[in-house]
Structure formats: C-alpha cells, structure tokens
Amino acid sequence: MRITNTLTGKKEEFVPIQPGVVRMYVCGPTVYDLIHVGNARPAVVFDVFRRYLEYRGYRVIMVQNFTDIDDKIINKANQLGVDYKTVADTFIAEYWRDAHALGIRPANFHPRTTDFVDDIVEIIERLVEKGVAYQTETGVYFDVRKFEKYGELSKKKIEDLIAGARVEVDETKKFPLDFSLWKKAKPGEPCWKSPWGEGRPGWHIECTVMSVKILGESFDIHAGGEDLVFPHHENEKAQAEALTGKVFARYWMHNGMVRFLGDKMSKSTGNIFTVREAVKRYGRDGLRYMILSKHYRSPMDFSEELLQDYSRAVKRVWEILGRYEKSGDIGIPKRNAVYEEYVNRFVEALDDDFNTPVAVSLIFELARNLSKAMDDNDREDALLYYHLIRREFGPVLGLFDLNEEKKEVSSEELLKLLIEVRDVLRKEKRYDLSDRIRDHLREIGIILKDTPSGTEYTVE
C-alpha cells in the first residue's frame, strides 16, 4: 500500500510502527453548528480509509476529537443566551445524528478538549521548562524560532509564512508566528485554573495532547482537510516534536477542499449545504458516492445539480440490486477466477494512494454485469456480482451496505401520508376505511386525535 505523505510530498509505502496495527488521528469538528458537505468530505474519506485498512487485515485504533471550547462556541453561546457547554453538547449530539445518517462509523475514541485540560496544562508546563514556550500578560505562547523544523510540513520558510498566512495578532508576542498555548480569560468567558492564571487552551495544543495521550508520542497517521496543514497541523507537529524529540506522525494525509460556487465551502462565508439537507434530499449513498468519486487529494466542486446526478446513478444500482433480491437467490458464490480478478482490481486501486474513484467505478461495472446476467438468466454469475457489490466492496466503501437501510422514506413521512388519506376518506364520509386506518394505527401504538385544527397523533 502506498499513500501520499504531505510531509515529504511523495507517494510512500505505508509501513505502520507496530506490525498489523494502525494508529491514526483525524481532526474533528468545532461543535457550534450543523456540519456541512465540506465537513463531510474528511469524515467520509477517512471513514472509508479506516474500513479499507481493516479489510486489508490491520487492527485500526482511530481517534477523532471534538473541539468543545473555542471562540466560535463562546460567540454562539452568547448569541443564544446559554453557556458554552450547552452549545457543545447540543451540536455534538447533532453531529452524531448526521454522522449516523451518512454512514460514518464511530472512531475508537472521541475525546473532548475540556476533558483534557489538566493534561494540556501539564504539557504546556513542560514546554515552558524546555524553553520553547513563554508567558506574556495575555497567556502562554510557543516560540516557533526555537523549533528548527518549523515550516517542514507546509514546506514554507518562516518569512514566507509571515507574509501570507493566518497569524494571531498580539503585541505581547515575541514573534508574529508564535501561537497561543494558553489564553488568559476575558471577563465572562469559561475558564480553568493554571499556573499562568485562569484561562483556556489554545486551539493547536488540544490535538497534540489528546493524540499523544491516547495514541502515544509517535503514531502512524495524522489526517484532516488540507486547510489544516497550516497553521494547525504545522503547530501540532512543532509542539509535539519539541516536547518529545520524536517524530510525531509518520504519515500526514490531507483531503482537498470542497468548492461551492467556486469558493471554499465554510460557515464563515455562508457557502454551505448541510449534510442533513443533502442526505434528506438525495440520500446517504448519493452524497457518499459524490465524495468518493473524486480522488481524496483533489479539490471537489459541489452543486446541487451534481449531487442530484450522483443520487440518480445510485438509485439505478439500488433498482438492479432490488430486482435481484426479489429472486430470493441470496447464497454464497464460488471464489473463481472472475471473483479474484475483481478483488485484485479493487485492492490495486485502493493500494495506489487510496484511489476511490477507480474502486467505486468497479461497483457500477458490477451492477451493469449483474443486470445483464439476470437478463441472460445466468444465476451463477448474477450471484457473484451481487455478492461483490453488497458483501465485499460495498461495506468497505460504505455504499449499498447490507447493514444499512436503503429505504428513502421515513416512518414519519408515511404516517403523515396515512393521516392525509384518512382525512380525505372522512370528508367523503367513507368512515369504514378511515376507521380501519385509525384502528390499525392504534394497534401498533399510534393514537390519532381529531381536533378543530387537524389530526394530531401520539406514540404510546
């Protein structure tokens, strides 16, 4: 298996530190709003990458964090008149709802920043003792000039980074690129005790601490969107390696950005399309197919029209699968030469820098072959193609998975439709049928109540 390592800019053979075990850290969301399609791309990409590692026989230990204290979260809390924890808890719950709808498997660990504040304070103290961090009247900062490899990940010189990058403006800093490890609290902000006064962690230190505490001082893969290369991942790397003197992450993987109307999709610009809306309109597989049809390192253009096209393509495959399932011939095929050829092509694609577009195209090729085999009444080949889609490749890509429901209509939508039909029947005085609907719903625990403003229901 070969993957492109952002650190070297080269496609490298993947060799984990511990044979047979992969430790990976994926940067998760800052939880102050619903996730959008831009957030969904790394979630889907690295969900599938983890599935593929497991398919290849590795045991994967995956960490994905939640940033649950941040300026954006504090601002949201102030807007809503609630505390920061209410905002964080609310949108972590909403994240899980959307992640489940999108077929994202939970990582092994989902640490929150606020659960690691004591560990963060300890690590900052060690960085200060080593002379690579210093205190000012506004907090504690990392001194980037004390770390010789600063800029190695983003492949930029310090002078270039000063000219063109996002830096924290603070006159108390020794150097413009120095970044915050600990922010002293402002009036009314949530805060924790520390040797430098009450405050809260900076953004970059949280991921360094959580990854080191859970995965160890050196681990295999650090992943996220390419917008995190600088400053976030550059700063994470600097902190960790200045602290331990060891290589922080051996491989760095970054997915390309999602562009909406030509610009990066982000909440700050308003260029967003939520995962919830996308899945509701076009289905889980439609969105996953759209994301996986582009190589993970390439930028991805998004439009609702494109998503609709991907959704239609997915529905055609579901129709072919549904047609086969009606035959009732759901057995296990022989692993013949055709079977092995497809498996080899699938592995060859994903071993080559995780080339999901080729892997996904195999599923659509198999669907066409399945349709033809059914037309030709070739039951042996039909079973083989069906098995490869639903049981071999589908679970790896999270597409057409046997473990996921394929129905597009929710139970709530069906119930509303039944109530509308019953209302029409009552207006037409066809009470025998309207009462049958009411009585059958009562039998399954749904109680209808007719009111002047319409029919209401409760679930017992």
Task: Please give the annotated binding residues for Zn(2+), written as ranges.
Answer: 27, 207, 232, 236
Instruction: Examine residue 201 and say whether the peptide bond preceding it is cis (omega within 30 degrees of 0).
Output: no
Residues marked as binding?
A: 27, 207, 232, 236, 267
Assigned token pair, 51: 């599935």
Closest CA to 260 of 229, 290, 295: 290
Residues marked as binding for ATP?
A: 267
Assigned token pair, 389: 């889609």
Other CB atoms within a 10 A radius of the CB of residue 310 amount to: 20
Contact 179, 204 (CB under 8 A): yes
User: How far is residue 241 from each of residues 141, 150, 162, measured CA to CA in Å?
Assistant: 16, 10, 22
Closest CA to 2 of 357, 255, 396, 355: 355
Angle at which helix 37-55 crosses helix 284-292, to 10 degrees, equals 80
- CA 180 – CA 235 distance, rounded (Å): 10
Q: What share of the chain is helix, strand, coil (3-state, %, to 5)?
A: 50, 20, 30
For 54, counting Cβ atoms within 10 Å of its Cβ (0-12 exposed, 13-18 middle, 19+ buried), the class is middle
Pairing of strands 219-225, 258-260: unpaired
Provide CB contacts within 8 A for 14, sequence distance 6+: 1, 2, 3, 251
Q: The tokens 């490899």 sit on which residue?
A: 149
Assigned token pair, 30: 């800052």
What does the H/E/C string look like for 299-310?
A: CEEECHHHHHHH
H helices of 376-430, in order, are 379-387, 394-397, 411-427
Assigned token pair, 86: 């209410």
